[in-house]
Structures are given as structure tokens and as C-alpha cells.
């Protein structure tokens, strides 16, 4: 009973002091205060875009940092969170991929990004209606399936009905295609799946998304077809970044539709205009080309909305997240 009470105060009401837990005796409050703390990581940088997008640079206890982004829309509010410090996949269009993988985030570090955003947005206690954060996407820094156990634990915390109360339909996990873990993710985590496809041939995808050399398109799409829970009302999302003269031809659009039909996938395609970053080797496709690409897919019976860039002025758009790894001496870490 006491565990449930403490859990509710922390994850449903967002308190940071045991003394605020009104239905717990003063003596137990003192015991808890003597042995535990309720804390958040530091936000070392906080930026608000002209379009209302908010970016948080979060520093954890060992000094390493990761970024998360809140994107407000008229009908929803999406929080994009990170699962790793850095990334090991080296996708060539992604700014995070220029940073080495430092480490996985723990489950509490993943959840803390939601806690911080809810603090900032004044969203405690957890509302049942009118909440600002309506959707969570694991699309920030890192590959979530390479941090499977911590991501799973974090999602279970987010979904708990006595806590933050996020529906599994409102949580999306994005993977670059870690094929052996996709079916397990569907069974054990059970959230929406987004796949970073970005190309329709192995030749091009090998260059853009190097993990394709290990798990080529055929294996990836077969795993998508077998993803537990995927159906027309809960489609798989294919993320497709629009790179000028690389993957944006009419032939690419037609082949993309052909692959979706061939593997009988309940799917939609999110077309993402490339968001530039310092030293990026690519350019964004012309807007007319993106619209034509979208139209060709739509005409073949597959939904292909264009994701409007958000937060570009603060480097918060898709593919722009990056942080610096910070090494802290043992003596200083002990103080933290």
C-alpha cells in the first residue's frame, strides 16, 4: 500500500519532496527523507523555437548529456526522447551519428526526460483530459532496440495506470532496423513501430543507414510484416528523409509503394525534409520534388504526409540532435 502511495505521488502528481505526500505519516516521511531523494537531472540548456518547439539538454549524474524535444501542435503535443548518449549506427544524414556512442541511458534517465518536460509545462498532477504531452516518441538520440531492457522498463513506467498513464497507442518506438529484436519489442513492449527506411534499394540504404549491411531491406520488411499487433488501424510508420538527387526520384516513390504492397504491410510513410546541420554531406530535396513524391505514393493507396520541419532555428528538428560527452573525475562524480 505504501509503495503504491509513493509511486502515485512521484509519477502521477510529480512531487519532489516526501513532505508533500499528505497521506503518508510524518514518521514514514522522515524515514524516506533519511534514505532517499527524489530528483531530476539538470537541464543545462533550454531553448524555445520561433514555432514553439522546446529543446532540453539534460545532464545526468555522471556528467553525460542527451537532448529531448517537445513539439506542440493544435491537436497534440509530442515529446521526442533519447535512449542513449550518442549513437553507434552512424547514419550519414543524422547529426547524432557524428557523435560516438558513450553509453545507454538507464530506465530512470529515460523517464526523467518526461518528468522534466512535464515540470516545464506545468502538467502535474497527471490530467486525464487536455494534457499538453499527448504522445511520446523514442526518436531522439540513440537506437532504442540496442538499449532494450531499459527502454522496456521505461515504457512500462510510462504506461502504468497509477502514474503517468500514457496509452501504448500514444507511444512510438523508432528503430533503424535491428531485425532480431523487432518481434520481441512487439511482444514485450507493444507500442507503435516506426522504421527508419530512407531508401528503397540496398545499394543506397547501405550508405545512408549502415546497419542495412547487416540486416538488408528484405529482412527488415519481413520483420515489419511479422511485427506483433500491426494492422490497418495500427500501421507501421516508415520514416523517409528527402535527400536531393539521392532517394527522391519518381522511380524511388514507385518502388517504395511496390515494396509496401509486396510485403503486404499495413503502413504509412512519413516524408521528412532533410534538416541541415554543420558539415552535412546532403541537401534537402526541393519542395516541389517532395510534394510530387508524396503525391505519387498517395495515388498508389498509401498515406504519405510530409512532416513539416519544426525547431530548425534551435537545432531541434529531426536528425539535428547532438550533445557533447563530458568526462568527470571520480572525486567530482562522488559529490554529484
The residues carrying an active-site annotation are 67, 318
Radius of gyration of the chain (CA): 21
What is the longest distance spanned by two Cα atoms in the chain?
Answer: 71
In the beta sheet, which residues pair with residue 49? none
- What is the DSSP track for 220-272? HHHHHHT-TT-BTTBPEEEEEEEBTTTS-SHHHHHHHHHHHHHTT--EEEEEE
Find out whether 68 and 113 touch, Cβ atoms under 8 Å. yes
Residue 64, classed as helix, strand or coil, is coil
- 29, 73, 56: which is closest to 115 by C-alpha? 56
- 50, 15, 57, 55: which is closest to 32 by C-alpha? 15
State the Cα–Cα distance between residues 236 and 233, nearest whole angstrom. 10
Backbone angles phi, psi at 67, to 5 degrees: -110, 150
- 52, 42, 39, 45: which is closest to 322 by C-alpha? 45
- 243, 199, 242, 241: which is closest to 221 by C-alpha? 199
Find out whether 116 and 56 touch, Cβ atoms under 8 Å. yes
The rounded Cα 296 to chain-centroid distance in angstroms is 28
Amino acid at each position: 500500500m505504501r509503495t503504491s502511495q509513493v509511486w502515485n505521488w512521484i509519477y502521477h502528481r510529480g512531487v519532489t519532496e516526501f513532505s508533500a505526500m499528505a497521506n503518508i505519516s510524518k514518521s514514514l516521511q522522515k524515514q524516506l527523507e533519511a534514505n532517499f531523494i527524489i530528483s531530476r537531472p539538470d537541464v543545462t540548456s533550454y531553448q524555445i523555437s520561433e514555432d514553439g518547439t522546446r529543446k532540453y539538454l539534460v545532464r545526468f549524474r555522471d556528467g553525460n548529456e542527451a537532448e529531448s524535444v517537445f513539439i506542440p501542435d493544435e491537436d497534440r503535443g509530442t515529446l521526442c526522447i533519447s535512449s542513449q548518449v550518442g549513437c553507434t549506427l552512424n547514419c550519414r544524414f543524422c547529426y547524432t551519428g557524428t557523435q560516438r556512442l558513450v553509453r545507454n541511458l538507464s530506465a530512470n534517465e529515460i523517464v526523467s526526460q518526461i518528468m522534466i518536460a512535464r515540470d516545464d509545462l506545468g502538467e502535474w498532477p497527471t490530467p486525464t483530459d487536455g494534457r499538453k504531452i499527448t504522445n511520446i516518441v523514442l526518436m531522439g538520440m540513440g537506437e532504442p532496440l540496442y538499449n532494450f531492457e531499459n527502454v522496456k522498463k521505461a515504457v512500462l513506467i510510462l504506461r502504468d495506470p497509477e502514474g503517468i498513464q500514457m496509452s501504448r497507442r500514444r507511444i512510438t518506438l523508432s528503430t533503424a532496423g535491428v531485425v532480431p529484436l523487432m518481434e520481441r519489442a512487439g511482444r514485450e513492449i507493444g507500442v507503435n513501430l516506426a522504421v527508419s527506411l530512407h531508401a528503397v534499394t540496398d545499394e543506397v540504404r547501405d550508405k545512408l543507414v549502415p546497419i542495412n549491411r547487416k540486416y538488408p531491406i528484405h529482412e527488415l520488411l519481413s520483420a515489419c510484416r511479422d511485427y506483433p499487433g500491426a494492422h490497418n488501424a495500427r500501421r507501421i510508420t516508415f520514416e523517409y528523409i528527402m535527400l536531393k538527387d539521392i532517394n527522391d526520384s519518381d522511380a524511388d516513390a514507385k518502388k517504395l509503394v511496390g515494396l509496401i504492397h509486396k510485403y503486404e504491410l499495413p503502413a504509412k510513410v512519413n516524408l521528412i525534409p532533410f534538416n541541415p546541420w554543420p558539415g552535412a554531406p546532403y541537401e534537402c530535396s526541393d519542395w516541389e520534388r517532395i510534394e510530387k513524391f508524396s503525391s505519387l505514393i498517395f495515388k498508389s493507396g498509401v498515406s504519405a504526409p510530409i512532416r513539416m520541419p519544426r525547431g530548425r532555428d534551435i537545432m531541434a528538428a529531426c536528425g539535428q540532435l547532438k550533445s557533447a560527452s563530458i568526462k568527470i573525475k571520480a572525486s567530482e562524480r562522488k559529490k554529484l
